[in-house]
Chains A and B, each alone.
Chain A
Amino acid sequence: MPILYKSITAILALTGCVSLLITGEMNLLMCTGGLSIFVGYYRFFRNRDQATKLVAAILAQAALFVFLADATIITGDVFLAVAHMTITFQGIKSFDLKEPWDHLQVYFMSLLQLIIASELTRALTFGVIFMIFMVLLVTAMVLSHFLKEGTLGRVRIRRPVMAIVMLTIACTAIFFMLIPRTPQRFIGKSHIRGIKTVGFSDKVDFGSFGDIKLDQTVVMRIEIDREIRPPYYWRGIAMDSFDGISWRNTTKQKSRILRTGDEFVISPYNQEHVVEQRIYLEPIDSEVIFGLAKMTAVNVETFSLLVDDAMGVTIPGKLSRRIKYTVRSDTTTPSKGRREEQYLQMPVGTEKIISLSKSISGEGTSDAEKASAVEIYLKRNYVYSLSTMPPPVGMSVLEDFLFNSKAGFCEHYASSMVIMLRGLGIPSRVVNGFYGGERNEYGNYFIVRQSDAHAWVEALIGNEWRRFDPTPAVAAQKPPTLSLLLDSLRLQWTRYVVGFSSDDQKEIVRTLTSPFTLKWLPRLRLSGFRTVILWSLLLALAIWLLYAALRKIRFRRYSFVTRTYLEFRDLLRKKGVSVTDAMTAGDLLKVSRKGRFGIEAEELLNLYESHRFGSREMTDSVRQRYRELLKKLRTGKGTE
């Protein structure tokens, strides 16, 4: 067996195992059995004796017992236990590679590992491993063919393998784009673990932002359709109630929005005034939809959206999955609001803070001026710091920040300003979201990380919610070029592979068919019941095409004469004549005479007999005559 074939089998086995390990979900203890792969393949390369069937069977049984223990006790997750078991099986199989079929088992096992990995990670690394797997699998399958023929090494296969690899990549891409997609998971739950984030639930403990401000994990990537001036505040959820320890969103009334055409419209908008943001949100443990304020419409693959009174948008039941959505925001018009008690709620023991706010704002100025004065005061007199200490006993966190430590991060600033504004009688709320992000020139999009999580203030000035950010600016570090390039690749991976959806399929079809679009045709909007009807029609069409193709393939093996004769039999059946399989051409002649199928049927059958059983030569003109007769019989324009 050539060394190339052995090497490919070994690398494929390793590729499968590595695909699982990169997910970061494997229990390393349970993967130790996989280390035997190195010993097994070393022996295999050295042409040492392979394990007997008995030994392999005993080891496999042992692996099954370990699997049961793993699934019930150790990890308690059947899915992960299966993943661990495949690694162990790869180890066992490396000692039992006698026949070509054993190698194929290794390939199938690697394929299974890749499928399991695809449920555990969406990382770009998976894409790299998949590409390696694809190239190796094509090579291995071609080599397997030659091995089976017993001619491996006799034929130079580098060129055909390269050509087939290229074709496979192209064909895979085409299939990937064409296969219809299901928007939701039907059975089982996703094993993708969402990014742990804070600040985007109905209750947020004070100070929790400090933990994630050091986390460089990418939360989302955003493309904007037009150039707008910074700052960029990616609004998430607003908090209205503070008890001194945590912020809560007490908004009871949430409106369910149903899809209108392609999108969920939150409020009417003018197309010219809105900024369109295409957002690729990583799987985070929150249902919140982020976007620039004020969000007017959202296009996302879901059945409904919820919008609360504070303009927070959520997808019910989103779970931890990566989603792609488009938000249209009117950045020129602030949200309207009215004075409500919940936005004036104060925690106990804030008298000192109220008197401070009054001293800052002065008497007789407008709400807008008061708010600006507080914002500027906080910005100028306090230091931004992520290393904060717990407040002394008997002192609240805000008092500690405002009068004692005078150092904190966005939560301290925003919370202080809201309490100070409320102390001045100005309704206000804390808004949690993300601020800024790095603009990646390689792809022209924004990378928003956990460290960009931010809290700011919205205050009701008149009847409009105005944004204030009392947190002083912190100089951002520019990431290295390589990191940006890699992130650009990640975005492409997320956009075109992981996040590929039926919308993208429609877009491709639209682009391809745009030169042939008939403007007078009504535009088909596919949603809900219409989608079901369309898919049913497409399925019916596919079945019909398959039937026609199979029929054609079945017919193609016959000669022209036989084919025409069979078509004639089918035609008689369609015309209501009882034609059994046992009927000969003579029988057909009799029934066609009775059924008055005219002289065409008689001529056709005579021609058939003379060409099928006689030695009469077939010519193009006779062939044409066959077709004419069949056409006349089909259309019923023959002589009766």
Chain B
Amino acid sequence: MKLTREGKRFLLAAVLIAVAAVNTGNNLIYLILSLMLSFIVLSYLILRLNLAGLVLEVSAAGPLFAEEQVSVKLLVYNRKKVPVYSVIITASDAAEQVYCGHIAGHGVFRDRMKMCFRKRGLYAYGDFVVQSGFPFILFRKSMSVHLSGQVLVYPKLLDIRHMIDIIEGRQDEGVVAVRGRGDEVYSLRAFQHGDDWRRIHWKASARQNEFLIREYVEYASQQISILLDNLLPSDGEHFETAVSLAASIAQHFIERGHLVRLIAARKTISFGSGNEHLLSILDALALIAEQDEERDVYGLKAEGFTIAVLKSGQSSLRSAVASADLAIYADTL
């Protein structure tokens, strides 16, 4: 609760009137003083009441990425019986404020807000603020609004086109055909318990008089392992770049149908592809923090093409670079 310029002068006037009232004992001055005190008290109480019981719901049409201007949908619920007047909804990352003139008791206010989240992560209580000076202009109060649910902001996506050629050039060197989930048939083998019935090659099975199933070819180069350096000591700025880089690489390759996995201290997302898998990687990257890893997760069996995304040349993970196909240092970008 802050006193405005007008509020400070009003308060000073009230003090002077109080002195006059005490000095004169004049009840009419006491009456004026009472009026002024009422203004101050009501201003405080109504302001508190006005801002209480507000719940905000923020939603967006698609995924939200840091440093990307988006228009989010705001729903402000007034849980009280009494209406709410003249409230401004804002956030530290908001490009503009949203003014809400009136919300009826138990009513809802809808609007859109242009936002540009500066950081990846989970936005919840404390990140969105409602402020008001209603009913008068004596006080102004800001308070964090209860957020119904949370808003997850993914890391900023970087332009990695200049790296893609390098990555894809290195990738072609190690293409090996292996069994997997490709489209081309690799071989036939006897049916085993647990195999998918749909993969039975009926003609061959009839000829051999036993069930044979198809095995498909898969190229090892389609498997991308992203090794993200999130080991302590902390290096905030380069770590954020590394995370953004990892997210950008993951998005690029998943969109091209590759199997991508993410390996980081205390966080591993196994191979997968498709939009859902991309979102799970982005979810992990949105919340990933620098860790003091005890177990050597980076020692996982190397599979596919491995890209190590390191914070800098001094990274604690530089030992893993040897086993990686490619190492990218965030501090060089």
Contacts and interface: CB of A to CB of B under 8 A. Distances in A.
To the question of whether A and B form a pair in one complex, the answer is yes
Interface of A: 101, 104, 108, 111, 114-115, 118-119, 122, 126, 130, 134, 137, 141-142, 144-146, 148-149, 151, 154-157, 160, 164, 167-168, 171-176, 179, 181-188, 190, 497-500
Contacts, number: 128
B326 to A, nearest CB: 35
Interface stretch (B32-40, B172-180, B187-195, B217-225): B32-40
A160 B135 contact: yes
B23 A188 contact: yes
A497 B27 contact: yes
A164 B134 CA distance: 11
Contacts of B99: 149, 151
Contacts of A160: 83, 85, 135
B6 A104 contact: yes
Classify the secondary structure of B's interface with A.
Answer: helix
B22 interface: yes
Interface residues of B, number: 39
B86 A179 contact: no
A142 B133 CA distance: 10
Contacts of A119: 24, 26, 28-29
Nearest to A498: B27
Given A154-B101, A181-B25, A145 B134 contact: yes
A142 B25 contact: no
Nearest to B23: A186
A115 B88 CA distance: 36
Given A111-B13, A164-B42, A172-B38, A188 B24 contact: yes
A148 B102 contact: no
Given A111-B13, A151-B99, A188-B23, A145 B33 contact: no
A181 B27 CA distance: 8
A126 B41 CA distance: 24
A181 B28 CA distance: 12
B101 A155 contact: yes
B223 to A, nearest CB: 34
**Shortest Cβ-Cβ A-B pairs, 10 listed:** A118-B28, A175-B34, A171-B38, A155-B101, A176-B34, A141-B136, A182-B25, A172-B34, A172-B38, A175-B37
Given A118-B29, A151-B101, 20 more contacts: A104-B6, A114-B32, A115-B20, A142-B135, A144-B136, A145-B133, A149-B86, A154-B101, A160-B85, A164-B46, A167-B46, A168-B39, A171-B38, A174-B34, A175-B33, A179-B21, A181-B25, A181-B30, A497-B28, A500-B30
B17 interface: yes
B31 interface: yes
Contacts of B136: 141-142, 144-145
Given A145-B133, A171-B41, A175-B37, A130 B9 contact: no
Nearest to A500: B27
Contacts of B138: 141
Contact of A183 (B25, B32, B41, B85): B25
A101 B10 CA distance: 12
B297 interface: no
A155 B30 contact: no
B122 interface: no
Contact of B137 (A148, A172, A188): A148
B25 A184 contact: yes
Contacts of A157: 85
Nearest to B34: A175
Nearest to B33: A179
A155 B41 contact: no
A118 B26 contact: yes
21 contacts: A104-B6, A118-B26, A118-B29, A119-B24, A130-B31, A141-B39, A141-B135, A144-B136, A145-B134, A145-B136, A160-B85, A167-B46, A171-B41, A175-B34, A179-B21, A179-B37, A181-B25, A182-B22, A184-B25, A186-B22, A497-B28
A155 B33 CA distance: 30
Contacts of A114: 32
Given A168-B42, A185-B23, A148 B31 contact: no
Residue from B21, B46, B83, B135 whose CB has the most chain A CB atoms within 10 Å = B135
Contacts of A185: 23-25
A176 B29 contact: no
Given A160-B85, A168-B35, A145 B29 contact: no
Nearest to B38: A171
A108 B99 CA distance: 29
B113 to A, nearest CB: 17
Contact of A111 (B30, B32, B38, B102): B32
A498 B13 contact: no
A115 B26 CA distance: 10
Contacts of A122: 28
A614 to B, nearest CB: 15
Contacts of B38: 167-168, 171-172, 175
B86 to A, nearest CB: 6
A167 to B, nearest CB: 6
A377 B231 CA distance: 123
Contacts of A141: 39, 135-138
Residue from A118, A126, A190, A500 whose CB has the most chain B CB atoms within 10 Å: A118
A150 B30 CA distance: 35
B86 A155 contact: yes
Interface in B118-172: 133-138
Given A160-B85, A164-B46, A145 B13 contact: no
Contacts of B133: 145, 148-149
